[in-house]
A and B are shown apart, each in its own frame.
Chain A
Amino acid sequence: MLQKPMIVEHQLPIRAAASAIYSCAQSILAAPDAKRLRPKFLSDGKVQLGNLLIFSEKQYYRLIVKGLGTPKLRNLFLSPVQSIRLILSLVKVGQLYKSRDVKVTAPIQLKASLEAICTYLNLHSYSSEIFKSEQGYKILIGISNTETNFLINYEKQSGWKVYFAQNQKSESASLLFKNIKIAQDAALGRLNSWISLTNGNVIVAGRIPLIDKFGYVARLVQKEVPMPR
């Protein structure tokens, strides 16, 4: 059974953003570098990256949104090379959000945004409550005419999780973006989900109550979770 950590709800946006960044890192960096960006959430609300850099919530927020966040200086001086390597990894992730190569960046950004949503599904009290009755159902999120397809489902041990979807048709509901640009707009919180349903930029099918709940949580994440600009 998924054990929920004791967290304060106002720390969730930062947690969700950190899991999104880690997801990006896994997609674009070599495994050891990506691993360094795996966040640890300390009991005092600080975010630790790779046993090295510790950011206050405020500085981590600045790091995400402005690309400038000052870590606690002690470790920076203790392991300067490692720290700089880690900072460079962070910069690379930041650059992903500035890149114009939509084909490359959009699927990565989409997965990252789904990771942020899953953080909410697992840890945000209202989101996890409304999704309790959806355990056992799977939602497919993909981009039409591409192989970019993700599946979100619930597992007892790990809670709600994003996977790359295989070919088998096991989803209970599907949400398909018309093209890669629309998917990127969604991942970056620039898509009006109401209009998109009607103009065909987003096509949904299957278990609509699941889609409704997913949409509600996705909009909440869009509103609360800081994104690189």
Chain B
Amino acid sequence: MNARNNSELLYQRANLVIPAGIYGHVAPGAGLPQDFPLYSHSGNGCRFTDVDGKQWIDFMCGFGAVLHGYRNPEVEVAVKLQQQFGSVFNQPTGLMVELAEKLVAQIDFANWAVFAKNGSDLTTWAIRVAREKTGREYVIKAKGAYHGVDAWCDPGLGGRISSDRSHVLEFDWNDFDQLDSHFKNYDGQIAAIILTPYHHPSFGPSLLPQENFWNRVEMLCKESGTALILDDVRCGWRIDDYGSHKYFGFTPDMAIHSKALGNGYAISSCVGVDEYRGGACEVFLTGSCWNDAIAMAAALACLRISEKEKVASSVMKKGKEFCEQFEALAEKFGVPLKMTGVPSMPYPWIEGDYNLFQIQKLCKVATKYGLYFHPHHNWFISDAMKEKDVLETLTLSERVFEDYLSES
């Protein structure tokens, strides 16, 4: 029996009824199509089991959607409790107010909060709020940064028309002069800059902000009346329990969160300063299930856990220990690998491997040992990962490096 029999059978069925079978960032072609499982079955803590019964030590956490571990007991209790009452009604529940109050209390610059289901829902909405407030059209983003699936920013190729990006300007991360030149060339026309806390593109190493980068960006926005929008969807609650801006020492006007906010229950939020409240009132915002009380109950539980257990510090510490040992192991085998970005979301980069052949090979070998290492995307450290999991990973990684070198 093929080791991926169930995965492949499901995929065959999927291709009859789902365009491309599996799409988006989890499409087989985006990872290792021959080696990664195509479908998951269940998960617990920092491990998941695929539909063929193989268990994996997970370094992707549902592409970041799960911070506190699969089926975290505290989150699941909150969810079960709310399930007794229902999820979506004609009106929102009191949980929406409670969640907004919690976010406004936790995030220092926040005066208000709104909710949706995905990061993309609110990155696009926040830009419209900035346009409403400023009466300007242009938006600036960093080249290669991911902000969602809408036409102004999606990384795909299909369905575009030329006007989709006609008001989007790009600059190379950390190149402040390039950014500044956009402000000069489009004086008085830039509504917003949208950036992630640090640069974490796919298919390339992560880049931390250079010294003073954020202060200069913040100053530029203030001077020009441009909204500074923080896309904290991926990093939120992984770097700092009170917003990633705290870690890097700046203050945005709006920040969008999702992923870890619901620990796998679909929810996103945008928080903002009072100055943008009026714009937020004017830009229409809704979705069929966006008032989902179950996801809001999950989010409240996640915020409680993060605050109580200082989860951001915890995953940063676990990530640091893992990354240092993983790099040391690579060095022992003569592989020039560095973990880039922040330790809770490391991106492995092999020196000189610009076309990714080597990291693909390394991650492919890792699949043999049940290690879910992604070759093209930053990894995520689960807070459910315990010392024994790290040790097991490192022990298996030793064999991974051995095999990797023997196949070279």
Contacts and interface: CB of A to CB of B under 8 A. Distances in A.
B356 interface: yes
B357 A206 contact: yes
B91 interface: no
Interface stretch (A13-21, A54-62, A111-119, A195-203): A195-203
A208 B21 contact: no
A186 to B, nearest CB: 15
B314 to A, nearest CB: 33
A contact face: mostly helix, strand, loop, or mixed: helix
Nearest to A204: B29
B66 to A, nearest CB: 24
Interface string A189-229: 00010110111100111111101110010000000000000
B33 A130 contact: no
B29 A208 contact: yes
A194 B29 contact: yes
Interface string A34-74: 00000000000000000000000000000000000000000
A207 B356 CA distance: 6
Contacts of A204: 29, 33
A130 to B, nearest CB: 6
Contact of B28 (A172, A173, A198): A198
A200 B29 CA distance: 11
Contacts of B338: none
Most buried by A among B203, B355, B376: B355
Q: How large, as a class, is the contact surface on chain B?
A: 20 to 34
B158 A203 contact: no
B20 A208 contact: no
A85 B209 CA distance: 68
Count chain B CB atoms within 10 A of each CB in A172, A194, A199, A209 and give the residue with the most. Answer: A194
Contacts of B11: 195, 198
B360 to A, nearest CB: 6
Given A173-B355, A206-B356, A197 B157 contact: no
A198 B203 contact: no
Nearest to A133: B143
Interface string B22-36: 000001111001100
A194 B160 CA distance: 21
Contacts of B178: none
Interface in B48-103: none
B365 to A, nearest CB: 14
A206 B355 contact: yes
A199 B21 CA distance: 12
Nearest to A137: B355
B8 A199 contact: yes
Contacts of A208: 29-30, 203, 356, 376
A206 B8 CA distance: 24
B142 interface: no
Contacts of A213: 157
Contacts of B355: 137, 171-173, 206-207
Nearest to B375: A208
Nearest to A206: B355
B28 A205 contact: no
B15 interface: yes
B158 A212 contact: no
A18 B29 CA distance: 32
Nearest to A215: B29
A195 B376 CA distance: 20
Contacts of B356: 205-208
A212 B29 contact: yes
B299 interface: no
A115 to B, nearest CB: 22
A114 B263 CA distance: 46
B15 A195 contact: yes
B25 to A, nearest CB: 12
Contacts of A137: 355
Contacts of A206: 355-357, 360
B47 to A, nearest CB: 24
Contacts of B354: 172, 207
B360 A197 contact: no
B38 interface: yes
Given A172-B355, A207-B356, A194 B15 contact: yes
Given A194-B21, A195-B15, A209 B203 contact: yes
Contacts of A205: 356-357, 360
Interface string B145-167: 00000000000011010000000
Given A209-B203, A212-B157, A198 B21 contact: yes
Choose among A137, A197, A216 the residue with the greatest number of B CB atoms under 10 Å from its CB. Answer: A197
Nearest to A174: B357
B357 A198 contact: no
Given A206-B356, A208-B203, A198 B38 contact: yes
A207 B203 CA distance: 8
Nearest to A172: B355
A112 to B, nearest CB: 24
Contacts of B360: 205-206
A205 B35 CA distance: 13
A206 B354 CA distance: 9
A129 to B, nearest CB: 9
A151 B30 CA distance: 22
Interface string B273-292: 00000000000000000000
13 contacts: A137-B355, A172-B355, A194-B21, A194-B27, A194-B28, A198-B8, A199-B8, A203-B34, A205-B357, A206-B355, A212-B29, A213-B157, A216-B157
Q: 3 closest Cβ contacts across the A-B interface? A: A194-B20, A216-B157, A206-B355
Interface of B: 8, 11, 15, 20-21, 27-30, 33-34, 38, 157-158, 160, 203, 354-357, 360, 376
